[in-house]
Amino acid sequence: MPTFDHDGIQFNYRETGAGIPFFFQHGLGADLSQPFGLCQPPPGIRLLGFDARTHGQTRPAGAREKISLAAFADDLRAFMDYLGIERAVVGGISMGAALTLNFTLRHPERVIGLVQSRPAWLDAPNPWNVRMFTLISQLLREHGREQARQRFQQSPEYLQTLERWPDVAASLAGQFDRPDVEGSAFKFERLITDTPCADRRLWTGIRVPTLVLANRLDPIHPFEYGGILAGLIPGAELRELTPKSVSLEQHNLDVARAVDAFLRRFAKP
């Protein structure tokens, strides 16, 4: 895949399609395969994205103090500048939603549309996420990948999650399989305690078409977060997704259809 250099880091990126640019960013612990697996750009849309710092094939990690949602938003701006793109639709999944929300608030002149898929942050961290991802980070730091995985899957936190939300438990356990997770485990604690902005009232100033996607049965991405976000962004559209625990196939299809319909508004005839 191609790369671009910024701030001493070589960012891995991908693009497909042609037309109006849509930057679609992955979630915490994931990589480019996540958004590109969910979105096939309709005619007239150019899909782009990059592996965030400490994720995927982007190397090196860079300064620890820059593992933040604001710094990731700065990386998005640098990517747009590198490609010579002035304005675009931006969006993301979970962490990708948070960083593109930060980007939209700070650089509204560069955004023509916003997609927030399964938001996991509001204007404060999600306490459940802080507890779970801090535990993952601490176990990796203290025990290494394999022993950390075993300890996590024996923990009361994991067992309670497994009983109530098996798909969420599997997703959390999957974090231990990520490349170089031991060397970058600190990202979980830094990012999960961060926030895209300090005051949700700022969302009322967003003036671009916005799509918010949310599903139930998911403590990492509470359905209520989607409702709160869509309720404060003027004119935002809230679409409910099939929970992954009900049908992963239908969930992915729901995302693809909703994003496709939203993007077609921007594609030139």
Q: What is the pLDDT of residue 178?
A: 87
Give per-residue pLDDT as tens, 52-107.
999 999 999 999 999 999 999 999 999 999 999 999 999 999 999 999 999 999 99
The domain defined by 3-125+197-263 carries CATH number 3.40.50.1820? yes
* 3-state percent breakdown (helix, strand, coil) of the chain, nearest 5: 45, 20, 35
Across the range 242-264, mean pLDDT stands at: 97
Inter-residue long-range contacts of 10-15, CB under 8 Å, 24+ positions, other chains counted: 10/58, 10/59, 11/50, 11/51, 11/58, 11/75, 11/79, 12/50, 12/51, 12/56, 12/57, 12/58, 13/48, 13/49, 13/50, 13/51, 13/79, 14/48, 14/49, 14/50, 15/46, 15/47, 15/48, 15/49
> Has residue 268 got a pLDDT over 80?
no
Tell me the domain boundaries of the chain: 3-125+197-263, 127-188
**Which residues contact residue 161 at a Cβ distance below 8 angstroms, ignoring those fewer than 6 apart?**
132, 168, 169, 172, 219
> Has residue 119 got a pLDDT over 80?
yes
Q: How confident is the model at residue 167 (pLDDT cuts 50, 70, 90)?
A: very high
Q: What is the pLDDT of residue 173?
A: 97
The residue length of the chain stands at 269
Q: What is the pLDDT of residue 180?
A: 85
The alpha-carbon radius of gyration of the chain (Å, integer) is: 18
**Which residues contact residue 249 at a Cβ distance below 8 angstroms, ignoring those fewer than 6 apart?**
none
**What letter represents residue 201's amino acid?**
R
Name the token pair of 243. Answer: 């929970």
61/84 Cα distance (integer angstroms): 25
Across the range 13-19, mean pLDDT stands at: 98
Across the range 177-206, mean pLDDT stands at: 95
Q: How far is CA 85 from the centre of its chain?
A: 21
- Say what the pTM is: 0.97
Q: What is the pLDDT of residue 37?
A: 97
Percent of the chain residues past pLDDT 70, beyond the cut: 100
**Which CA distances in Å does 246 have to 18, 226, 254?**
34, 19, 12
Across the range 186-210, mean pLDDT stands at: 97
Dihedral pair phi/psi, residue 239, rounded to 5°: -120, 130
**What letter represents residue 189's amino acid?**
E
Residue 130: exposure state from Cβ atoms within 10 A (0-12, 13-18, ≥19): middle
Q: How confident is the model at residue 1 (pLDDT cuts 50, 70, 90)?
A: confident
